[in-house]
A and B are shown apart, each in its own frame.
Chain A
Amino acid sequence: MLPDTQPSNDALLLEVRDLCTHVFTRRGVVKAVNGVSFQVRAGETLGLVGESGSGKTMTCLSILRLLPRGARIVSGEIWLQGTNLVTASEATVERVRGKQIGMVLQNALAALDPVFTIGTQVGEPLVMHQNMSWRAALRRVVELLRMVKVVAPELRLYSYPHELSGGMRQRVSSAAAIGCAPALLIADEPTTALDVTTQRQYLDLLMELQQATGMAIMFVTHDISLVGNMCDQLAVFYGGLLVEYGPRQQVLSQPSHPYTAALLQSIPQLGEPRERLPSIAGEPPDLGRLPAGCPFHPRCDAALDVCRTGEPPPVFTLAQGRQVRCWLREQDHDRSAAGSL
């Protein structure tokens, strides 16, 4: 169906094809990622949106092969500039991590090693990947810290993580991730642990960094209101599947999947009179026991009979590069555009 090699498209940085990552627990197999495909182009920002447990974090961890014990990539391909990261050796992947793809984790205090100084932790990848001496690396660390707006960076070199505030730790984490100027930065819920003001500052910082370095960003969040002006493309996750994918503006203004629509409706708008906050009825699916058919059908108003049985709906390609996994959109499926993704 899909070609085996990556199509030559210069702007294409990362391509994920039919990724399936399963977690093998004592109680059974959890299909954390169940057939996800998307692309990231150089310099663009892709937003990955969905509830906790929808598969967005596991997708990111799969890309860098940082899966926890018991989790494994079962099938699929992840192409990064000619290399399939799924089948590559551990040594190859180690060279990609930090150097071509950087990652920022959610809980910044937990993400920094408590017994080493900031200088050591941010400088480590520089020494490792770029063969710098420690002295040169530390100088560069000061520059990086300045870039992420940490005050008095020379002093901060010798601080420990627990001596910094939450916002500062997040920025230090980011400095460590972008140290070697990676082409792609994966930011996994970087603002969840921050208060609203710090959130805003951090997002502005991310944008500035992107402007300065031209890197692509994969921005993972469960809060769809954050993707606002940031993202170029949007990927909506549900139940381990990518249910909608397309340019941000269009997905937000004209969602084609019922889940996306429901998400958007549940964002409270300041100033509007409202008696009750709307929410989506029901609960997110247990990935260990997915219902037959489309994972969203128990909560979907417009579910058809075909939605409740068999396999989940396949990817339908719509106009303007949008994709959706919903039987309701079958007739909009543009067959000529399919297969080129």
Chain B
Amino acid sequence: MARSTTPAPELVLPQPVPAHKTGLVAWGRSVFRGAPVFSLCFLTLAVACAVCAPLLAPYDPIQTNRTQTLVPPSLSAHLLGTDHLGRDILSRLIYGARISVTVGFLAVFVSGTVGTLIAVVSGVVRGWADTVLMRLTDAFLALPFLMVAVLVVSLLGPSLVNVVLVIGLLRWMTYARTIRSEVLRLTEMDFVRLARAAGARRRRLIVQHILPNIVNTLLVLGTLEVGSAVITEASLSFLGLGVPRPLPSWGTMLAEAQTYVFTAWWLPVFPGIAITLLVMASNLIGDWLRDRLDPTRRQL
């Protein structure tokens, strides 16, 4: 019979780390491992445009110019051309970023808050509150989203605030469902039970134990939803029900481009590229965050 004659394993002490591997570079490398670089750069660019629009835009986006209508893109004057009223496309794009980014982030903030609220109540209180809230979620999920948005915005009147509210209040369901299952899972875990056994009251439980653990999920969902909010705002503006003219939303630019699609190809192309890139950036960053924060989760 083979007796235990293998020698005890040697103690392997950690090697001292060479100096250049510590510090800011190493930290940066570990946090941003595998990040979609282009998406992050574009998102930063979009936010920069939103914040510093007056500084970046070469022309006034609203100023009409009857002599310069429908000028094709050229390196000399208007980089991306002008529209049917002589307004510079590039400047309008930059100012449009302001609207898309604002609506995107604010709408996500609203729906995230509402969704989390509902999810936490549902998951912690349970009982009939849970049933009612879940049926409500099902009802909202069954709504033809854009149609309802169209209806409600027309009733309330087109404005930035209304658009944010409508998008925010019609998209909370994804958050509610996902976070609710997270909350349910968490409340079954031992550390919550221990806290309860120690006499912790509900509010303390929620704030101290549950919320910190759902931040990750919220972050991932929020990032992914920014793209959807941007597209919805663009759709509403496209239909004429978003932010009022003459504010240069990318969607409005596309709507105006429709009449001139036969003569001026640059009118529809550039705003569309902007929207697509912003949505793609939000999707890719969201996917990366999801992989990074929860590597066990499968990716579609």
Q: Mark B1-35, 1 if CB is under 8 A from A, else 0.
A: 11111100000000000000000000000000000
A278 to B3, CA, bound (A): 9
A265 to B5, CA, bound (A): 17
Neighbouring A residues of B6 by C-beta, 8 Å:
281-282, 298-299
Neighbouring A residues of B2 by C-beta, 8 Å:
258, 262, 280-282, 299-301
List, sorted by A's number, 11 A–B pairs whose CB atoms are closer than 8 Å. A258-B2, A262-B2, A281-B3, A281-B6, A282-B6, A299-B2, A299-B6, A300-B2, A301-B1, A301-B2, A301-B5
Tell me how far the C-beta of A165 lies from the nearest C-beta in chain B, rounded to whole angstroms: 31
Nearest neighbor of A301 in chain B, beta-carbon distance:
B2
A106 to B5, CA, bound (A): 35
**List of 4 A-B pairs having minimum Cβ-Cβ separation, nearest first:** A281-B4, A301-B2, A265-B1, A262-B2
A262 to B3, CA, bound (A): 10
Tell me how far the C-beta of B130 lies from the nearest C-beta in chain A, rounded to whole angstroms: 30
B interface majority secondary structure? loop
Neighbouring A residues of B5 by C-beta, 8 Å:
281, 301
Tell me how far the C-beta of A261 lies from the nearest C-beta in chain B, rounded to whole angstroms: 8
Q: How many residues of A contact B (CB 8 A)?
A: 11
A interface majority secondary structure? loop
Tell me how far the C-beta of A21 lies from the nearest C-beta in chain B, rounded to whole angstroms: 28
Nearest neighbor of A266 in chain B, beta-carbon distance:
B1
Which residues of B are in contact with A by a Cβ distance under 8 Å? 1-6
Neighbouring A residues of B3 by C-beta, 8 Å:
281, 301
Neighbouring B residues of A298 by C-beta, 8 Å:
6
Interface residues of A in 291-320 (CB under 8 A from B): 298-301
Tell me how far the C-beta of B1 lies from the nearest C-beta in chain A, rounded to whole angstroms: 5
Neighbouring B residues of A265 by C-beta, 8 Å:
1
A194 to B6, CA, bound (A): 36
Tell me how far the C-beta of A265 lies from the nearest C-beta in chain B, rounded to whole angstroms: 5
Tell me how far the C-beta of A26 lies from the nearest C-beta in chain B, rounded to whole angstroms: 14
Neighbouring A residues of B4 by C-beta, 8 Å:
281
Extra 13 A-B pairs, beta carbons < 8 Å, given A282-B2, A301-B5:
A262-B1, A265-B1, A280-B2, A281-B2, A281-B5, A281-B6, A282-B6, A299-B2, A299-B6, A300-B2, A301-B1, A301-B2, A301-B3
A301 to B3, CA, bound (A): 7
Neighbouring B residues of A262 by C-beta, 8 Å:
1-2
Candidate in B1, B4, B6 with the most chain A CB atoms within 10 angstroms: B1
A26 to B85, CA, bound (A): 58
Neighbouring B residues of A282 by C-beta, 8 Å:
2, 6
Interface residues of A in 268-293 (CB under 8 A from B): 278, 280-282
A280 to B2, CA, bound (A): 6
Neighbouring A residues of B1 by C-beta, 8 Å:
262, 265, 278, 301
Nearest neighbor of B6 in chain A, beta-carbon distance:
A282
A299 to B2, CA, bound (A): 7
Tell me how far the C-beta of A279 lies from the nearest C-beta in chain B, rounded to whole angstroms: 9
Tell me how far the C-beta of B126 lies from the nearest C-beta in chain A, rounded to whole angstroms: 31
Neighbouring B residues of A301 by C-beta, 8 Å:
1-3, 5
Neighbouring B residues of A281 by C-beta, 8 Å:
2-6
Tell me how far the C-beta of A87 lies from the nearest C-beta in chain B, rounded to whole angstroms: 37
Interface residues of A in 226-271 (CB under 8 A from B): 258, 262, 265
Neighbouring B residues of A280 by C-beta, 8 Å:
2
Tell me how far the C-beta of B8 lies from the nearest C-beta in chain A, rounded to whole angstroms: 12
Tell me how far the C-beta of B280 lies from the nearest C-beta in chain A, rounded to whole angstroms: 28
A91 to B161, CA, bound (A): 66
A64 to B110, CA, bound (A): 58
A280 to B1, CA, bound (A): 7
A280 to B3, CA, bound (A): 7
Nearest neighbor of B2 in chain A, beta-carbon distance:
A301
Nearest neighbor of A265 in chain B, beta-carbon distance:
B1
Candidate in B1, B2, B3, B6 with the most chain A CB atoms within 10 angstroms: B2
Tell me how far the C-beta of B22 lies from the nearest C-beta in chain A, rounded to whole angstroms: 26
A281 to B6, CA, bound (A): 8
Tell me how far the C-beta of A273 lies from the nearest C-beta in chain B, rounded to whole angstroms: 16
A278 to B4, CA, bound (A): 11
Tell me how far the C-beta of A272 lies from the nearest C-beta in chain B, rounded to whole angstroms: 14
